[in-house]
Amino acid sequence: MAEFTLDLNDDQKQVRDWIHGFAADVMRPAAAEWDEREETPWPVIQEAAKLGIYSLDFYAQQYFDPTGLGIPMAMEELFWGDAGIGLSIVGTGLAAVGVLANGTEEQIGTWIPQMYGDANDVKVAAFCSSEPDAGSDVASMRTRAVYDEAKDEWVLNGTKTWATNGGIANVHVVVACVDPALGSKGHASFIVPPATAGLSQGQKFKKHGIRASHTAEVVLEDVRIPGSCLLGGKEKLDERLARAHERAAKGGGERVKNAAMATFEASRPAVGAMAVGTARAAYEVALDYAKTREQFGRPIIDNQGIAFQLADMRTQIDAARLLVWRASWMAVSGKPFTAAEGSMSKLYASEVAKKVTAQAVQILGGNGFTREYPVERMHRDAAIYTIFEGTSEIQRLVIARTLSGMPIR
């Protein structure tokens, strides 16, 4: 296992610079247009695929970086380019993580390539967990999966919401309840293959930010999928459910991860890195503006009120990055999150992104409030980080319960 270091090696620097170039030359010039259109930027995704950035191989290389810094480094640079387009490019990764966290080797090899397609025919995937009445409260999930033993098929019914790429995805990963008596411990994840009858797109949401990323409801009406589409397999599921029932009968608590929590836990430092990228982008715009904007005969950065804000912004961004890198390094090193370090990184970086982008708007003054400057869009985009994949309130709850030894449900 590689020793922890704050220095990127030459290969990492080369990858970082490559992604940064794509973000600067392709993503940023297109950002305002796709934000206004509120549509999936297929041409940008295809360009990313042609360059090898949107591909299974690229994310696998970053995922298996022995230092753990490959994914957060890539996320920061892409979201420095633009959060909406960035999420369109990496949104498939959440579904892929769902398969990696819960699937067998055969399922991983079969389904993840189909999530991306190829440079000539790009595809996307969707991870479907939240529901209209079950967001943070995953135990209230109503989507049901019932096993038809005679046909070796699972039948799914329910409605999912807030699904990135929902309805337009080639592959959907759906979390459903298989044993309501167990609450969140009775959940499992399923692959819904392309063109499966009964799956349809519901409402497409018009959002405050990340508007270039498609977010919609996914409706499941008697969706039948092969038994092999249960991630992890039925034998493993039956064993897990039996253990949960046994513990429940004994009245004992159980600290187990359900299917959705396993996916979110693995992805939280990456979301923190996205927030760092957006915060850094806004900070850089504000810094450049403060150096060139003159009032009362001198650049506004000469005023302590502005200079101190910029100093705090940079300090908070660097602190957030360090928390993200620590959590990522711990994960790849097999070190347990004894203090919920993954949630810490996502919590702090998300809050920093909201604060720094708001400060950037303030430093630009009236110009910051217009769409002529990108900080207005960055401020809108930053709002999502404290909401999706676990709100800031949920992150604090996870941290507090981890510290106290209470079970995380």
* Other beta carbons within 10 Å of 48: 25
333 burial (CB, 10 Å; 0-12 / 13-18 / 19+) is: middle
Q: Phi and psi for 144 in degrees, rounded to 5?
A: -110, 145
Instruction: Give 134's strand partners.
Output: 131
* Side chain identity, residue 377: R
Measured CA to CA, the distance from residue 88 to residue 244 in angstroms comes to: 37
* Other beta carbons within 10 Å of 228: 16
Measured CA to CA, the distance from residue 149 to residue 328 in angstroms comes to: 41
CB burial of 346-366 (b: ≥16 within 10 Å; e: otherwise) equals bbbbbbbbbebbbbbbebbee
Selection from 22, 374, 104, 102 nearest residue 264 by Cα: 102
Q: Are 177 and 138 in contact (CB under 8 A)?
A: no
**Crossing angle for the helix pair 375-382 and 341-364, nearest 10 degrees?**
150
Residue of 47, 351, 376, 389 marked active site: 389
* Side chain identity, residue 388: F
Q: Are 95 and 299 in contact (CB under 8 A)?
A: no
Alpha carbon 361 to its chain's center: 25
Selection from 192, 61, 62 nearest residue 126 by Cα: 192
CB burial of 114-153 (b: ≥16 within 10 Å; e: otherwise) equals ebbbeeeebbbbbbbbbbeebbeebbebebbbebeeeeeb
- Note if 265 is an active site residue: no
Catalytic residue IDs? 389
